C-alpha cells in the first residue's frame, strides 16, 4: 500500500515537471513579453484582482463554517473558523498538498464543541460541493466548445497523458483506500441526511460563487494584459479556466496544482485567444493567486483580532 501511494505521488510530481517543461516551451515559442507589468494601471489592477482572490478564500472559509454547523448542529465562532481556514490554506504550498486539509483540525483543538472526526467530515463535504460546483459550471459554460474542440482539433498527446495520469491516480487511490472509502462513504451519506435541499443549494451556491470569482480574476488578468474579450467569449474563458483548475485540483503530488493548471489552460484557451497573452496571463495569475492567499491570511488575522 505504501509503495502504491508513493507511486501515485511520484506520478503527480512527474506530471507537474512535464507541465513546467511545456509552459517553458510555450514561453520561448511565443517570445512572451512581460514589459506591460511596468504600467502603474496594470499593477494596480492586478493587486485588486489578488485582493478579490483573497476575499474569495475568506468567503470559502465562511462557507466551511456553515458546513461544520450543518454537520454537527454546532455554531462556531466565525473568526475562529476563518482564521484557521485561511491559515491552513497557506499549507497547500507545502509539497504533498495534504497539510492544508489536516491543518483545519486545529479547530477541534481550539474548541471542545467539535471533534477531529467531525472536522474531517466537514472537509469531505466541502470537497464534494467544490467538485460538483466546478463540474456544473464547466458543463454549462463550455460543453459545446469542448465537443467542437475534440471533433475538429487533434487533441495533443500531452492532453492524453494528463487524462491518463489523472484516471490512473484516481483508480489507484480508490483501490488503495477502498476500505476507508467504504467506511467514509457510509459516514458521509449519514451526514448528508442532515442537509435539507435548501441547505445543499446554499452551500453549493456559495462554492460556485467562490469558483466564479476566481475565474473572473483570471478574465480580468487577461484583459489587463491586452487581450480583447467580447461578451460572448466570457463563458468560454471562465469554463476553460475552471477546467484547468479542476485538473490541477485532482492531481496529487503537486503544489496547489502548480504547473498542471497552467499547462491545461494554455492548451485549451490558446485555441481561442492570443497564445502569447494566454502564456503570460497563466503565469501572472498564478502569482496573483499566491498573493491572494497572503491577503486572505491577512484579512483573517485582522478579523480575528477585531471586536465583535
Contact between residue 276 and residue 32 where contact means Cβ atoms under 8 Å apart: yes
Q: Does residue 192 have a pLDDT over 70?
A: no
Q: Where does 177-274 have alpha helices with state H?
A: 178-192, 197-224, 234-250, 260-269
b or e along 280-304 (b: 16 or more beta carbons within 10 Å of the residue's beta carbon)?
Answer: bbbbbbbebbbbbbebbbebbeeeb
pLDDT (tens digit, 9 = 90+) per residue, 75-94?
A: 888 899 999 999 888 888 77
Q: What is the mean pLDDT of the chain?
A: 78
Would you say 90 and 293 are in contact if contact means Cβ atoms under 8 Å apart? yes
pLDDT tens track for 228-250: 888 888 888 898 899 888 887 87
Q: Of 261, 289, 259, 252, which Cα lies nearest the Cα of 95? A: 252
Confidence tier at 196 by pLDDT (50, 70, 90): confident
pLDDT at position 28, please? Answer: 54
Contact 173, 252 (CB under 8 A): yes
CA dihedral sign, ordered 219, 221, 222, 226: positive
* pLDDT for 205: 92
Pull the grid cell for residue 23.
509552459
Mean pLDDT in residue range 93-108: 75
By the 8 A CB rule, do 155 and 89 touch? no
Residue 61: how many other CB atoms lie within 10 Å: 25
Contact (CB, 8 A) for 299 and 58: yes
**Is the Cβ–Cβ distance between 299 and 55 less than 8 Å?**
yes
| End-to-end CA gap in the chain | 48
pLDDT of residue 160 exceeding 70: no
Determine the Cα–Cα distance for residues 213 and 199; give it in Å rounded to an integer: 21
User: DSSP 3-state assignment of 66?
Assistant: helix
Give residue 49's pLDDT band: very low, low, confident or very high (50, 70, 90). Answer: very high
Domain ranges of the chain: 2-305
Positive or negative CA dihedral for 159, 96, 131, 230? negative
pLDDT confidence bin for 152, thresholds 50/70/90: very low
If one compares 173 and 205, the residue with the highest pLDDT of the two is: 205
Per the model's pLDDT, the better-predicted residue between 191 and 195 turns out to be: 195
Round to whole Å and give the CA distance between 173 and 198: 32
Amino acid at each position: 500500500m505504501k509503495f502504491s501511494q508513493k507511486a501515485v505521488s511520484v506520478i503527480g510530481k512527474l506530471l507537474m515537471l512535464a507541465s513546467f517543461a511545456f509552459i517553458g516551451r510555450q514561453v520561448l515559442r511565443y517570445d512572451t513579453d512581460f514589459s506591460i507589468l511596468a504600467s502603474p494601471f496594470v499593477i494596480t489592477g492586478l493587486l485588486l484582482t489578488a485582493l478579490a482572490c483573497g476575499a474569495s478564500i475568506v468567503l470559502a472559509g465562511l462557507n466551511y463554517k456553515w458546513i461544520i454547523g450543518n454537520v454537527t448542529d454546532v455554531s462556531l465562532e466565525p473568526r475562529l473558523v476563518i482564521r484557521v481556514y485561511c491559515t491552513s490554506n497557506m499549507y497547500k504550498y507545502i509539497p504533498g498538498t495534504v497539510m492544508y486539509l489536516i491543518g483545519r483540525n486545529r479547530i477541534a483543538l481550539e474548541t471542545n464543541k467539535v471533534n477531529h472526526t467531525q472536522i474531517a467530515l466537514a472537509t469531505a463535504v466541502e470537497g464534494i460541493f467544490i467538485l460538483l460546483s466546478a463540474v456544473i459550471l464547466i458543463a454549462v459554460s463550455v460543453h459545446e466548445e469542448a465537443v467542437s474542440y475534440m471533433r475538429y482539433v487533434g487533441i495533443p498527446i500531452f492532453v492524453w497523458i494528463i487524462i491518463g495520469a489523472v484516471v490512473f491516480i484516481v483508480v489507484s487511490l480508490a483501490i488503495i483506500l477502498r476500505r476507508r472509502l467504504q467506511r467514509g462513504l457510509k459516514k458521509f451519506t449519514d451526514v448528508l441526511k442532515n442537509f435539507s435541499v435548501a441547505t445543499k443549494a446554499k452551500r453549493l451556491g456559495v462554492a460556485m460563487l467562490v469558483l466564479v470569482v476566481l475565474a473572473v480574476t483570471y478574465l480580468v488578468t487577461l484583459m489587463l494584459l491586452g487581450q480583447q474579450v467580447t461578451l460572448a467569449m466570457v463563458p468560454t474563458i471562465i469554463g476553460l479556466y475552471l477546467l484547468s483548475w479542476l485538473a490541477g485540483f485532482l492531481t496529487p503530488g503537486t503544489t496547489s496544482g502548480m504547473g498542471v493548471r497552467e499547462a491545461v489552460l494554455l492548451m485549451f484557451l490558446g485555441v481561442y485567444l492570443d497564445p502569447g497573452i494566454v502564456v503570460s496571463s497563466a503565469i501572472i495569475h498564478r502569482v496573483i493567486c499566491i498573493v491572494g492567499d497572503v491577503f486572505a491570511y491577512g484579512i483573517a488575522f485582522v478579523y480575528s483580532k477585531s471586536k465583535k
